[in-house]
Each structure stands twice: as C-alpha cells, then as structure tokens.
Chains A and B, each alone.
Chain A
C-alpha cells in the first residue's frame, strides 16, 4: 500500500515536471504583456497577431502539407518495404534488410540531415519544398516499416494459404486479406510518420534552403532574436492539435484491438 503511494507520487512528479513548462508557455500566450514574465492580464492579442502574420500562417500550412504528403508516401513505400522484407525467403536477407532499416532509425538526425544536404547539392537539386519533402519521406520510411512488420509477422501463414486455396491471386490476397490484417500497423506507422515529420528540426534545418521553411526551423530562427509571445500562441495551438491526434490514434488502435479480441464483445 505504502509502496503504491510512493509510486503514484513519483508518477505525478514526473508528469508535473514534464508538463509544467508546456502549461507555463500556454498560459503566457494569453498574457497581454510582451514577455514570458510579469503577468499583465488576460488577452488574445498574440493570437490575433499570429493570425495577421501571413508568413507564419504560410509556414504552418507548408509544414502540414509536408507532414501529410511525406507520411502518406512513406506509409505506402514503407508498407511495401515491410511486405518485401517479410516475403524474403532467406533469413539472412531478412536480417540484412532489417538492420539497414534500423540503422536509419538510430543514426543521429544531424548526420542524416548533413548527408541529405551533400546528396542534394551533388545531384543539383535546389533546396526548398521538394528537398524537405524527399528527406522527410526518407526518414519516415524506416518508422513505417518498423510499425508494419510485426503485424505482418504475427499474421498466420495459413490465412494467405487459405485465400490462395479459395482461388485468390497474389493481388487479391494482398488486397482482401493481408492489407486489412495489417491495417492497424499501417495506421500506427502513418501517425508516427506524421508526428516525426511535424516536429523534425535537425534534418529539415539542413535542407530547407532560402525562403522555404517549416515551423520548427522558423521558431528556432525567431527565438534567436528573443521569443515573441506569438510563438507561445502557436505552440498552444500545436499542442492542442497533437493532443487531438493522440486521441484519434488511441481510439483507432482501441477499435482495432477490440475486433481481434474474442470474448470482449460478449462481456460488453
């Protein structure tokens, strides 16, 4: 009982430490003053300023477009990649492919970003929307593979065999049996890729070039001149949006689990 109390206390402390800065930041987004200290009273002025800052709005839209496009494309490529790794006959090929996949996940963003910069300049691709999109797709693919592959591996071989036995060809098996089975993994991969893309700074910083920017890079460059509370307002909005995303993901995965768990329906 006592042990439990200490455990709870610890948990609360951890969450408080993690969330206090965020709530502090959100609170001051409503400050009518100019700085992050000295509360001057409630006001929505920074939100209005943000709304009037067309460059900032443009960057937010660009960031969302990049995140959405890159995660959709990475999900498609990553899903087929996972299928391919799973189809590989020899265990050696499988392991080699998987390790190559993991290396990309664990290598520092700075190195990935720098290598993309070198690569893009070498092939003469001008830095901007396309270079950011390509690099975001590239670093999202391994994440999708990692989310999809376990689902594929837990899928019984007999399901594929049964579908073939009933007359289905390769594409019909994929479309009607395999993809529906791994759909929860694909969704998880998509949302992971989306969040990775939304908050990536290091890789993007290298490949944005002049003019084009994403939110994280823009906030960083503005912060060097001292943070205006406009940024706080933006962060508050972003925080709420990610909270909503997390809830959506939670409900999707919960529904997916319920369908697969026998007996749960009966107890409902």
Chain B
C-alpha cells in the first residue's frame, strides 16, 4: 500500500449491518474524499440507502468502523454530524413555509436573526426560489419542493450533502434538468455530494466516482468511464448499460477465444486457457457484409429506438448479440459483426476488486 497523503473525509472500515439473520451490509470498505461527486449505484434492496443512513447517523453499524475526518463516529447521533440529507420524499415540514423550512437548521444552531435571514436568502437564491419564501409547502410543485429540500440541507453548511434518490419522483424532463443543476451546484459549492440512485444513466452522467453496490457489498468502484468500459463482473456489466456477455477462454495474453474463433484483444495477466466472460457493448458492434465481419451472424429481431435500431443477431455457436445500429437490417439475413480488439473486455470469474486493479496495473504498466 502506498502512503496516504490526504486523509479521507469519510471512511468505512469493514462496516457491517445485520438485522438479526439478515445481513444488510457485508464488510463494506469505502473512502470518500473532499469536494467530489460520489454516486452509490445499485438495485433496490442492495444496501445503498443503508450506507447513507450510516453516514448520517440514523443507523449504527453492527460491525466495523465509520470515520468522519479521521474520528470514529459509530455512535455519534445524527444531530451532531456535519452531514445533511436530502430525503427521497423531501420530508419538508408541512407546518412551516418555504422560508421557515430552510431556516430550521440555522435557527436550531441559535444563529442571530440577521445571520439566519442572510443564510436563508442566499440558499433560496442558490436553488432559484428567491420569490417563493412565503409560500406554503402544499402550494409549490414537486420540483420546487425538491429545491427547498436541497436549500434546507445546504443552509446547515454541511461538509457532505447526502442525497437519497432525490430525483426519482420527478418526471423525465425535470429529472434531466435537476441532474445538471445538481452537478453544477456541487462544483460551485465545492463540497462533497453523495448521491444514491438505481438509475445507471443518472450515475454515469453526474458522478466523479461511482460505487456499484449489490447485495450489501461494493462490487466495483471507479470513474464512470472505468466502470462502463471495464466492468469487473457479470453483475456490473449488466447493470451499467447494456452488454453482450458470452463465455470464452483466454488462450494467452492478448488472445481470446469465443464463439468458436480466436480474437486479438487488449487484456492480459490471466492463466493460460483460463475460462472467462467476454463483454462487448452493443454500440461497439457494427453490422457489415459477412465476408468483412469477424463473426458471422443471422439477424433475429429488430426494434426501433428513436435514434437507433436495436438488432438482435445469433452467431453460429448460438450466442445472442445485441447490436445498436444506425441503419435497419433484414430479419433472417446473414450478416457479419465487426469490432476492434479494444472493444473486447474480459472478465475473470470471481475476481476481487483488488486483484482486478492489480492485474490492470501489472500489464498496463508494461506498454
């Protein structure tokens, strides 16, 4: 291990949480640095919201340690932590108007009236609700309630803002808008955002760093590009974007065999003739005349997706390939599939994240 130069803002060391027999979190390790946009991405019930509750102090771990700024906060109650949460249902106080909701945190801290007023006004300006301070919560739209919730959390001047699936209740267009606004807000404020979502598109669009959570574990962590291009296993490859995953054998470094043929690729560091899984993204596949293709396939099905066609083809070994193409194809036709060596990604079975990172480093350093 290299010496750590920067102390992480939040650190999970072997954190577990059990409810009796059910293990919600299984020895989770993660590090959160200052000033970045993090996303916890996973299907519902994966434990991603639980991690958020542990950071905010609504839950206590049954094993392991949670550190904030190097201090153990395992049993520190949530009202004493420098983190604030934007809840999924916003949890705005119905007996207060917009202004009083935002002023709640600062007034609890006992700030002067003048300071509270300044803070609330600047927060409402930040979320573009300057003119709404006198409105009742029941009088504003869902999108506006969302902004009030963000302003209320930020008015406490937290080091970390936790966002628990805050966009899931908004319609598609508003969600897109809020995504870029949240991203912009985070960059302007320079504080850490931890965003929980089950929407992989949202995660890829917004984050500096993604933790893919499944079944109470961190499956993979990395930048959006890393995770998309080099998923560590079947789950991640399938969950992030669409993927063709077929069984294969690594003949030697930079040579993989699948669908009955050998292909050059860019992965290495595996045992000779190791069984692996091969991933190729639908958008990396091109449909060409059979003689020019690396794989010969029969077109099986096709559907129109607005900006493209999704074509399903079957190769001679019986593997199914999803292809994203700009031009339509004819069902039943013989065609070829073209792809480059860089488009092939190899996944070892049951490889841990450390081994995966070490292996990538070992051969990528060689070039």
User: Binary interface profile of B, 54-94, with partner A (CB < 8 Å = 1, else 0)?
Assistant: 00101000000000000000000111100011011101111
CB distance from A6 to the nearest CB of B (A): 40
In contact, B91 and A261 (Cβ under 8 angstroms): no
Nearest chain B residue, comparing its CB with the CB of A157:
B91
Q: Which of A64-118 contact B (CB under 8 A)?
A: none
In contact, A165 and B104 (Cβ under 8 angstroms): no
A134 interfacial by beta-carbon distance below 8 Å: no
Nearest chain A residue, comparing its CB with the CB of B92:
A162
CB distance from A216 to the nearest CB of B (A): 38
Q: Which of A221-268 contact B (CB under 8 A)?
A: 259-266
In contact, A163 and B104 (Cβ under 8 angstroms): yes
The total of chain A residues at the interface (CB under 8 A) is: 26
Taking CB atoms, residues of chain A closer than 8 Å to B85 are 161-162, 165
CB distance from B87 to the nearest CB of A (A): 5
Q: How far does the alpha carbon of A66 sit from the alpha carbon of B88 in the complex, in Å?
A: 48
In contact, B138 and A156 (Cβ under 8 angstroms): no
Of the candidates A156, A169, A265, the one whose C-beta lies within 8 Å of that of B79 is: A169
Nearest chain A residue, comparing its CB with the CB of B155:
A166
In contact, A165 and B138 (Cβ under 8 angstroms): no
Q: Which of A157-185 contact B (CB under 8 A)?
A: 158-159, 161-169, 172, 176-177, 180-181, 183
In contact, B108 and A162 (Cβ under 8 angstroms): no
| Contacts A161-B91, A162-B87, A165-B56; A262 near B104 (Cβ below 8 A) | no
Taking CB atoms, residues of chain A closer than 8 Å to B77 are 164
A-B contact count (CB 8 A): 74
CB distance from B225 to the nearest CB of A (A): 33
B261 interfacial by beta-carbon distance below 8 Å: no
In contact, B79 and A165 (Cβ under 8 angstroms): yes
In contact, A259 and B91 (Cβ under 8 angstroms): no
Q: How far does the alpha carbon of A91 sit from the alpha carbon of B109 in the complex, in Å?
A: 35
Interface residues on B, range: 20 to 34
Q: How far does the alpha carbon of A264 sit from the alpha carbon of B138 in the complex, in Å?
A: 9
Q: How far does the alpha carbon of A262 sit from the alpha carbon of B94 in the complex, in Å?
A: 10
Q: Which of A107-160 contact B (CB under 8 A)?
A: 156, 158-159
Taking CB atoms, residues of chain B closer than 8 Å to A177 are 93, 95
In contact, A168 and B79 (Cβ under 8 angstroms): yes
Q: How far does the alpha carbon of A161 sit from the alpha carbon of B87 in the complex, in Å?
A: 9
B interface residues (Cβ-Cβ under 8 A, vs A):
56, 58, 77-80, 84-85, 87-89, 91-95, 104-105, 108-109, 136, 138-139, 152-153, 156
Rank and list the top 8 A-B pairs by shortest CB-CB distance, nearest first: A158-B91, A180-B95, A162-B91, A166-B105, A262-B138, A167-B108, A165-B85, A164-B79
Q: A158-B88, A159-B91, A165-B153 are in contact. List 9 more A-B contacts (CB 8 A).
A: A158-B89, A161-B58, A164-B77, A164-B78, A166-B79, A166-B153, A167-B109, A168-B104, A259-B95
A interface residues (Cβ-Cβ under 8 A, vs B):
156, 158-159, 161-169, 172, 176-177, 180-181, 183, 259-266
